[in-house]
Amino acid sequence: MSEEPTFDFGPEPSGDAAETRAQQEPSPVARNTTTGAVLEAMIAPALRLGGYEFRKQVLLGSRPGGRKHNVDAVASRDGKKIVISLKWQQVSGTAEQKVPFEVICLSELVLNHSCDKAYLVLGGEGWTLRDYFVNGGLSSHLVHANTVAIVTLEKFIGLANRGTL
């Protein structure tokens, strides 16, 4: 009988780290954020392999409307700062409705020179509009949509592995 392969994605977050993460984004309704942590863990090896330094859960000012803008990761290499926002959609749900506003928020970071490039990474099989988003469907609706690269998780990992973000 063969054993299943194991993968090392870095240290497991401690109770304190999980607590800190929950405090960064308070919500009146409890929600499952484990998919976000899993998605962050999935991109970490690719970023390392591509020679990027990165930090997770970084506060980068305010979103339009004044709320805090925490991004999932900020990667850097060769003097370039790259902001990464991760969205996971396991089954059909509301993540698709959040994509246009996330593009607006990320484009503000690029336009205000808070970063050199921004990625919105879509993971999971529950997306009904994934092809629309990754093929530039928002560009006719949002003036600065072209400042944000919307890509699948697989595409992002390939770019990160090669160091070509």
Averaged pLDDT, groups of 10, the chain, 165 residues long: 41 42 38 65 93 95 93 96 93 85 96 96 93 96 95 96 96
Fold observed for domain 36-162: Trna Endonuclease; Chain: A, domain 1 (3.40.1350)
pLDDT of residue 14: 45
What are the backbone dihedrals phi and psi of residue 156, each rounded to the nearest 5 degrees, phi first? -60, -45
Q: Indicate the burial class of 142 (C-beta count within 10 angstroms; 0-12, 13-18, 19 or more).
A: middle
What are the backbone dihedrals phi and psi of residue 130, each rounded to the nearest 5 degrees, phi first? -55, -50
CA 62 to CA 69: how far, in whole Å?
5
Residue in 122, 123, 127, 89 with CA at minimum distance from that of residue 103: 122
pTM over 0.85: no
Q: For residue 112, which amino acid is it?
A: N
Taking the domains of the chain in order of start, what are their residue ranges?
36-162
What are the backbone dihedrals phi and psi of residue 8, each rounded to the nearest 5 degrees, phi first? -105, 110
Cβ(103)–Cβ(150) below 8 Å: yes
